[in-house]
């Protein structure tokens, strides 16, 4: 069996993996990235269409779950996983697990909203906002987050790219909300904007810098320190008799052959549920209940934002503009102690009767509950013969009240403005639909209350680091991607320092 040696192995090529690869390779470490899916094939796998322009829903018998994703259609379906080849099981409650096995992962599909979590959101975490602030600044510069000067503690200012401008429709929402709800503010949405591909070379041509191949993998490849293996499904982490990880066991997704790769540092960035699954499937003599699970906490406290949706029309008579502005507007109403944040996208629709269309998406906070958990189901295996994830997560009374309050707010706002609501969905929210799953391998202050320490280092195995959303202690209301990237950058800098001091 051929075995290679690297300084670090990163499992997963999405947001966390891309950040870690760039940081470690810049520092001179030899890094191997293992991606369970195929190589990206631009421009086919880069879809520039606005969500308004997509033809959905898709009816695909091999993707009964993935086809329910808002962005999954005949053009994008190959970015999503084959559900029949990669099943999972659930408890008594439904869970929608949307997955992409492809170089770059779900970074090819995200909505690019970038809000920092605040000092209030980090209460209960072993890190503070100040700990993460310089790393927010770093990753925002990589993806070109729009600048803000809102001076709201709940969503700290940041960004490096030019901010957008208010349009008349956006101001209509802003003025109505702030005049009628004195405890709320409406701000411009902060988006990742860097789409320059002029300096990008194959195989990542046309990959914008808002994707992991653009902001992370390409800079890492240019250092000559990065090796990438695709179709490499990690079966388990290998552990020595001294309790340290020394490599991973991989199943080739195409040939189904098993091989190993070795490194003194193992980094999981496979996504929240996949990383937890790998840790459970890495059970061994030293850790019979799974790596990181000597205290029984692994897999518990999983969260996903509870979501609500309202789509409708802004009658033309409400907009004074005579210029027929077709520029899209993106605005945001942050959480002000009511448990949810609201993103509103506005676009003019040209038809026989021109009007503005709005889409309001609500994300409500979900608390960390012990019984919301991910484990493994040894009775079901995927196409590579690996036991699948078993997901048992449900929203509870508090979350249902939050989304009901959000529904009432949107309906009241629509009545005040004069909006026509064409479609809304609040009462049928299903965990997983927000695609913001976090938690399950939480950070903490001691081995008694967590799986990881404040630098994402596994208490059980000191050379194992978990950098994706599974490390979250609470969900907040902000989209988690920017915080995942900042946490991954902070942990990567710790790994570099510890490695050079020979302390890993």
d(CA 72, CA 170): 28
Residues near 383 by beta carbon (within 8 Å), at least 6 away in sequence: 82, 85, 86, 253
Q: What is the pLDDT of residues 19-30, one digit of tens each?
A: 999 999 999 999
In a domain, 113, yes or no: yes
Determine the pLDDT at residue 206.
66
- Name the percent of the chain lying above pLDDT 70: 92
Q: Write out the two tokens for 186.
A: 């409406």
Determine the pLDDT at residue 197.
46
Helix (H, G, I), strand (E, B) or coil at 107: helix
486 and 340 in a single domain? The answer is: no
In a domain, 158, yes or no: no
52 and 82 in a single domain? The answer is: yes
CB atoms inside a 10 Å sphere around CB 478: 25
Per-residue pLDDT at 406 exceeds 70: yes
How many contiguous H segments (helices) and E segments (strands) does the chain have? Answer: 8, 17
Residues 436 and 363 sit within 8 Å (Cβ to Cβ): yes
Confidence of residue 50 (pLDDT cuts 50, 70, 90): low
56 and 25 in a single domain? The answer is: yes
In a domain, 214, yes or no: yes
Q: Provide the angle, in degrees to the nearest 10, between the axes of the packed helices 15-26 and 481-500.
A: 30
DSSP bridge pairs for 343: 332, 361
Can you spell out the DSSP letters for 237-301?
EEE-TTS-EEEEEEEETTT--EEEEE-SEEEE-S-HHHHHHHHHHT--SS-TT-TT-TTS-TTBS
Task: Give the least confident one: 12-16, 108-112, 173-177, 348-352.
Answer: 348-352
In a domain, 1, yes or no: no
Domain final position from 430, 457, 481: 430
In a domain, 2, yes or no: no
DSSP bridge pairs for 105: none
Helix (H, G, I), strand (E, B) or coil at 500: helix
389 and 496 in a single domain? The answer is: yes
Mean pLDDT score across all residues of the chain? 92
Is the Cα torsion angle 71, 186, 302, 31 positive or negative in sign?
positive
300 and 312 in a single domain? The answer is: no
Domain final position from 430, 445, 477: 430
Domain final position from 379, 406, 430: 430
Domain at 458, CATH number: 3.50.50.60
Give the domain extent around 311: 164-190+306-364+395-430
CA–CA distances in Å: residue 254 to residues 37, 231, 474 = 10, 7, 38
390 and 315 in a single domain? The answer is: no
Q: What is the pLDDT of residues 52-86, one digit of tens each?
A: 566 555 678 899 999 998 888 888 888 999 999 99
CA–CA distances in Å: residue 257 to residues 100, 232, 260, 354 = 22, 10, 10, 58
In a domain, 159, yes or no: no
Tell me the mean pLDDT in the region 142-162. Answer: 96
Tell me the mean pLDDT in the region 255-268. Answer: 98
Confidence of residue 423 (pLDDT cuts 50, 70, 90): very high
Confidence of residue 51 (pLDDT cuts 50, 70, 90): low
In a domain, 462, yes or no: yes
Q: Are strands 187-188 and 340-349 parallel, antiparallel or unpaired?
A: unpaired
Determine the pLDDT at residue 198.
45
Count of domains for the chain: 2
243 and 183 in a single domain? The answer is: no
d(CA 160, CA 138): 10
Determine the pLDDT at residue 1.
43
In a domain, 97, yes or no: yes
Q: What is the pLDDT of residues 283-320, one digit of tens each?
A: 999 999 999 999 999 999 999 999 999 999 998 888 77
123 and 266 in a single domain? The answer is: yes
Can you spell out the DSSP letters for 338-371?
SSEEEEEEEEEE-SSS-EEEEEEEEEE-----TT
29 and 73 in a single domain? The answer is: yes
261 and 204 in a single domain? The answer is: yes
313 and 358 in a single domain? The answer is: yes
Question: What is the strand order of the sheet 387-392 is part of?
Answer: 89-90, 387-392, 373-381
Put simply, whether the predicted model's pTM sits higher than 0.75 gets the answer yes
240 and 229 in a single domain? The answer is: yes
Determine the pLDDT at residue 71.
83
């Amino acid at each position: 069996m051929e075995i290679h040696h690297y300084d670090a192995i990163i499992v997963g090529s999405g947001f966390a993996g891309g950040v870690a690869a760039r940081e470690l390779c810049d520092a001179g470490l030899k890094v191997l990235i293992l991606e369970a899916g195929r190589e990206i094939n631009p421009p086919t796998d880069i879809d520039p269409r606005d969500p308004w322009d997509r033809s959905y829903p898709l009816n695909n018998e091999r993707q009964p779950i993935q086809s329910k994703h808002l962005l999954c259609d005949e053009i994008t379906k190959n970015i999503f996983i084959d559900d029949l080849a990669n099943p999972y099981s659930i408890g008594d409650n439904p869970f929608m697990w949307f997955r992409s096995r492809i170089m770059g992962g779900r970074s090819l599909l995200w909505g690019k909203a970038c809000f920092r979590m605040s000092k209030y959101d980090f209460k209960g975490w072993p890190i503070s906002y100040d700990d993460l602030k310089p790393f927010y600044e770093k990753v925002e510069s990589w993806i070109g987050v729009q600048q803000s000067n809102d001076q709201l503690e709940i969503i700290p200012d940041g960004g490096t790219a030019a901010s957008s401008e208010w349009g008349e429709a956006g101001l209509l929402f802003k003025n109505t909300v702030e005049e009628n709800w004195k405890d709320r503010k409406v701000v411009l949405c902060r988006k990742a904007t860097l789409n320059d591909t002029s300096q990008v070379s194959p195989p990542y041509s046309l990959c914008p810098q808002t994707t992991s191949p653009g902001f992370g993998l390409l800079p890492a490849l240019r250092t000559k320190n990065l090796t990438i293996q695709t179709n490499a499904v990690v079966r388990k982490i290998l552990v020595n008799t001294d309790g340290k990880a020394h490599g991973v066991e991989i199943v080739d997704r195409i040939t189904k052959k098993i091989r190993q790769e070795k490194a003194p540092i193992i980094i999981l960035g496979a996504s929240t549920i996949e990383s937890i699954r790998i840790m459970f499937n890495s059970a061994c003599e030293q850790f019979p209940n799974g790596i990181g699970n000597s205290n029984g906490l692994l897999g518990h406290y999983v969260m996903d934002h509870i979501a609500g949706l309202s789509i409708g029309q802004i009658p033309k008579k409400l907009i004074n503009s005579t210029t027929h502005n077709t520029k899209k507007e993106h605005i945001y109403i942050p959480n002000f102690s009511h448990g949810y944040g609201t993103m509103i996208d506005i676009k003019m629709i040209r038809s026989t009767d021109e009007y503005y269309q709005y889409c309001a998406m609500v994300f409500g906070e979900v608390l960390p509950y012990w019984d919301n958990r991910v484990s493994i189901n040894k009775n079901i295996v995927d196409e590579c013969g690996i036991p699948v994830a078993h997901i048992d997560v449900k929203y509870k009374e508090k979350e249902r009240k939050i989304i009901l309050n959000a529904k009432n707010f949107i309906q009241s706002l629509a009545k005040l403005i004069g909006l026509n609501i064409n479609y809304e969905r609040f009462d049928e929210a299903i965990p997983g639909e927000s695609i913001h799953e976090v938690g399950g391998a939480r950070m903490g202050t001691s081995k008694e209350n967590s799986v990881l320490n404040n630098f994402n280092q596994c208490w059980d195995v000191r050379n194992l680091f978990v950098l994706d959303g599974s490390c979250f202690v609470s969900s907040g209301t902000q989209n988690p991607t920017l915080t995942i990237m900042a946490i991954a950058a902070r942990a990567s800098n710790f790994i570099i320092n510890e490695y050079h001091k020979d302390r890993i």
